[in-house]
Structure 1
Amino acid sequence: MKSLYKASQNETPAAWNPPEFDADSTVNTPSINKEEILSIFQNLDANSLTTKSAATGKAVKSKNIKFASWQPGQLGQVQSKVNPAEWNFIEVTDTPFDKSWKVQSPAPVSNQPSLQQLEENETALLIERARHQAEEIILAAQAEADDILLQAEAEIQEQKQVGFQQGQREARAEIEDALKAVHATVEEIENWKQEFFAQGEQILIDMLKDISSKMFGEGAKLNAQALHANLSRVMENAHGLGALKVFLNPNDARLLDSYWSEQQMLIHGEPVKVIASNSITPGGCLIKGNIGTVDGRVETQLNAILKSLDETETPEE
């Protein structure tokens, strides 16, 4: 919508004559009269309208509206109040314009779905149903696989237990066999040891007999100190036999002190007499009393030792 100002017909505006800014200027300005200015405004619609504004001009002409040329008034004159009644509004319709400018209303939409939509919906439904069936098949297969795996693990554990028990039985049998073999070996060693010791003991006894006979068969050569010790031990067994006669080898009799007889008499309270005899081997003695005899000869002691060894050789049953 365009608006035009209605010029007053009663007032004749004065022409605007701008003052010269420089009086001394030598430039000649061409003069423009009022008729030329009016002709410019009167011919404006014929010379300066574009294709788009031409349609608007056509609409204005169709209404048979006449326009008055705008006459500029004095610059110093300012209208005190604008009267809205003085403005004329042109109603522009769409008659002169192309119908393509009109807003096309959308085509009516039918509430009924099209065939293509139905096919697409059915395809989507089939795909969704197939997807659910595939998921169910996968879940069932996975559950079956889990059951198979659990069953396999149970069988493996059972086989392990059976193998473990069988291994225990076999190991126990092997250990028992080994223990039996060890016991048999130990028993055999014990028997061999007893037999060896029995044979070795007899050998040792025979060796001792031989050594004793060789060492003491002809007596023992004793020094004076050893002779006194041996006689003192034998004399302890002669208490209460009355007057004593001590038979010694002549070599041993010479080793005794001259006061030995008196000393023994003081000890026993009975007279003691030393008699040298070649029948007594060196190192031994024979004591005879009024009521008994003490045999301290070397051969007698050797025979007693050999007899004890013979008794050891034959164990009691």
Structure 2
Amino acid sequence: MHTYPETAWTEFQTTWYIYQQLMTLPFKLRLGKEILNEAFVLNRDEEEVKSSTKRALNNGVPKEFIHILDEFTGVMATFETHKSGPTFVLRFDIDALPIQETEDAQHLPNLLGFRSRHDNCMHACGHDFHTAIGLVLARWISEQRAKLRGKIILLFQPAEEGSRGARAVSASGLLDEADYFAAAHVGMMARTGEVVIDPYGFLCGTKFNVDFKGRAAHCASEPEAGKNALAAACSAFMLLQGISRSSKGASRINVGKLSGGRGRNIIPDQAYMEIDLRGETTEVNDYLVKRTQEILKGTAQSLDVQLSIED
């Protein structure tokens, strides 16, 4: 899985691999569009999905399987013991990040020959680990099924990065019966072989996609007719870096993407930002959200451009 990483909403080859591992085990499997509510899908790039589907087909994923997924990814595996007991849901995320893996010869995947074969895509956050854990757990459940009670649902969730997939899956209603829900992450604070039940060091988070819309004009012949959306975005970028940190806990502010404009001689009529906010507590995170929204609205108003914020 580390060798063939796929970013959010494009995990077709990963979904096929998971399906192959589970199909011979005593689970009811739901796939792709079956496990989510499409109305709540966020930030899904249709062109990226199409190119990733083509790549998956070239890598041996059957066309019939892609058709079953209906252009969406992910697997929900349900094991029913037919004995009274609670319903457990265990979540394992499956997507990777748009990061180029290092060519450093001492990097373990290079030493052992399992480096990413997809350009600008890498399992840098450990979701390949998470998926592997879920698959091993599925086999364990199968082997121990005579000793188990209730219902166990293993959710191999697409699009965890950017907080894009969870809401769509939860809005499907398929998890409403859960008595217990658990998710896990390979631990930065844990030693190998150690499990931390009450982990520390993770932050609450909010993501924003921001569009500034202005008016294009020629920069020489009629610059006063333009409304510079990129100037508003750049102004907001600088002001966001200056938000006072909270005394009530750690906080993080990052503008991970900023783009805009159409050409060197055109007043930019559009700009786009992707913002990641994190706080040690919900209170700290909410403080960052409030200040960020104030800055975005203020810069848009001061430069007379329109603003659209998607969270």
What TM-score range do you get, normalising by the shorter chain? under 0.3
More strand by share: 2
Return the index of the structure with the highest Cα Rg.
Answer: 1
TM-score by length of 1: 0.14
TM-score by length of 2: 0.14
More helix by share: 1
